[in-house]
Each structure stands twice: as structure tokens, then as C-alpha cells.
A = this chain, B = another copy of it.
Amino acid sequence: MSKKYRVGILGATGTVGQRFIQLLADHPQFEIACLAASDRSAGKAFVEACPWKLATPMPEKVKEIMVQPIEPPLDCDLVFSSLPSNVARQTEEAFARAGYPVISNSSSFRMDEDVPLLIPEINHDHLGLLEVQKLKRGFNKGFIVTNPNCAVISFAPPLAAMHEKFGVESVIIATYQAISGAGYPGVASLDITDNVMPYIAGEEPKVEIEAQKILGKFTGQEIEKADFIVSAQCFRVNVIDGHTVSARVKLRETSTLEEVTEAITNYPRLDLQSSPENFMVVREEPDRPQPRMDRDTGKGMTITVGRLFPDNIFDYRFVSLSHNTIRGAAGAAVLNAELLISKGLI
């Protein structure tokens, strides 16, 4: 039996923090060592501090862990972070500087030039940036890697498949995002019952810039962003988990529907612990994907694509979906950590 890495979770009491705990509770490579949360929670047993909102029960082993303040040192080998963006930047940098690998789900560092923004199946070579990062920031052992925004992860994978083969020129997006994306208490029930919210603060700009970096090329020194444009309108709908995206894509080269379908379906998977059997699946039924039916595919790590058709203005249209707090947050970060281990970087 190989040794387990001892992990700390920053922001452990939040919606994504809870997913980290759920995903790591029985993970063969990781062991939850430290739980850190805001001052209000610090000093309490986790079971007292955390308003647990997942449908699976809180794992016994974390209940009595004493919540610590969110600052180094923590007695662990690496940290997962799901801090709110207003505190993430300073805190994550502090942990990296103190020697911890920081696997972050926060948005703060995603667009920093020297920080990898990872979807392991797509751009694991971006890990080469870590050398640049250490040099530039004077980090010793520590570093920061990030995963994308929870809505971006729903469409970036099919986009990657198309981009690689046919070149993407423009993408027009409208989202149908789940309430769990706003954390807890998050969305007020009076705002979303019998309603749609056409606005999520700060979301559209994020959704419009991240994919170009993710699908960019690592030159050995930096990421050359992919040269397509994304236009995004983001909406909150009355769904618990699962972000659905409506997409129209204009390609640079001509392609047939069969070629596009094949590019998505055959896009290579990885073989990490949390990798789903299928990175992406393309459904042929007219009424899929649906969040309640498809979000848990591949234990929440598979992206489901459907309604893939030629478009009458752009080249193709499709609908895609992923689980926003698993593949779109905690699961993405855990996969990043597994990638780092497999590359010998942790």
C-alpha cells in the first residue's frame, strides 16, 4: 500500500468544501488531515461548524476534526482551496509561499499568466508553467494550480475536441446554472421558485475568457491563448446541481456532423483515479442532456453533450452539461491533484 497524501481543505464548510470532503473521504491517494474555515467556524468541531447540505451523510471521520483558521502552517502535504474570491488571492499565495501545493477552485489566480488553468484531459502540458511560476514568484516547494469556472467546464471539453480538429472561431453561449453554484445560503428561494434569474454577478466575464486559456498552447514559457471569441449570457435556473449550456460554434474549417461527433466521442481520456470511463458522451436522444438525469454520469465527472446539430448561422449547435460542484469544482480540483501526483509534481 502506498502512502496517502495528507490534505488540508481551505473553506471546508462551504458547498464546495463539503464536496471535497465527500470525494476525499474514501480516496485511495488522499487522507483528510486539516479542515480550515473562517474565523466564525475555527475552533469548533467540524460537525458543529458546518451546515452540511449534501444528500450523503457527513463522513464520520471528519465530524470531530477541529476547524482551524485559514492560514499556514497546516499539518498537511497539500491544500485544496475553495475560498471566496475576496480572500483567495492573498491566502492561496501565502500557502504556496509557505511551501504547500495549492490546488484551487477559486477564480483569483485562474487568469494569471504563470498559473495553469487545468482540465487534465485537455491541457495537462500546461503544468510546465509551474517552473515559470516558481521562478517568477520565488516559490520554493509550493505552487498554485487552478480549475475552470463551473459553467466553462460544461462547454470547454466539446469545444476542445472541435478546436483541435477544425479550429474554433466564435462561440455563443447561454447558460442554465444550478443553485448549488452560489453556495449556501446562496440563492434565496423567493428569487428562484417559479422564476429564472438572468444575472449571476461576475459570471459572464469569467465565462468569456477562460476557455481561450484552457485551449491555449504552452510554448515552454507561456500560454498562447486560443484565438476564438466567446459570448456568454448566464442565467440561474431552479435546478439543484448541474450546469447546462446552450452553444453555437463557428469553426475555421469545414467538417461533417459525423466528424464533429467523432471528435467529441473519441477525445482521449486520462487514466487517473477520478477519471470517468468517458470524458464526454454524446447523447442521441432528442431530450438529453437533462441535469437531473445526466449530472451524475461518471460519478459527476463526465460531460454530457446532446442536441448536436448543424446550425443555420454558425456551424454547429449543441447542449452540454456537467455537474457543477463535482466536475465543475471539487472533482476538478481532486483530478488536478491526481494529475500532479502522476506527473511526480507532488
> What residues make up the interface of A, taking CB atoms closer than 8 Å to B?
15, 53, 55-57, 170, 172, 174, 176, 179-180, 184-199, 201, 208, 229-231, 233, 235, 237-240, 244, 246, 248, 286-293, 295-297, 306-307, 311-314, 317, 319
Contacts and interface: CB of A to CB of B under 8 A. Distances in A.
Which interface residue of A186, A196, A287 has the most chain B CB atoms within 10 A?
Answer: A196
3 interchain residue pairs of minimum CB distance: A174-B174, A185-B188, A174-B246
Contacts of A297: 57
Given A186-B189, A197-B287, 12 more contacts: A15-B190, A174-B174, A174-B246, A185-B191, A189-B193, A190-B240, A196-B291, A198-B287, A208-B312, A230-B312, A237-B238, A240-B292
Contact of A53 (B176, B184, B190): B190
Nearest to A177: B196
A312 B230 CA distance: 8
Nearest to A319: B198
Given A185-B185, A186-B190, A229 B195 contact: no
24 contacts: A53-B190, A55-B292, A55-B295, A172-B248, A172-B314, A174-B174, A176-B235, A179-B189, A185-B185, A186-B188, A189-B192, A189-B238, A193-B194, A193-B292, A194-B238, A195-B291, A195-B293, A196-B239, A197-B290, A198-B319, A231-B311, A231-B313, A231-B317, A235-B246
Given A311-B231, A312-B229, A190 B194 contact: no
A189 B240 CA distance: 8
A23 B192 CA distance: 24
Contact of A193 (B184, B185, B240, B295): B240
Nearest to A199: B287
Contacts of A186: 188-190
Contacts of A293: 53, 55, 195
Contacts of A317: 231, 233
Which interface residue of A293, A296, A297, A313 has the most chain B CB atoms within 10 A?
Answer: A313
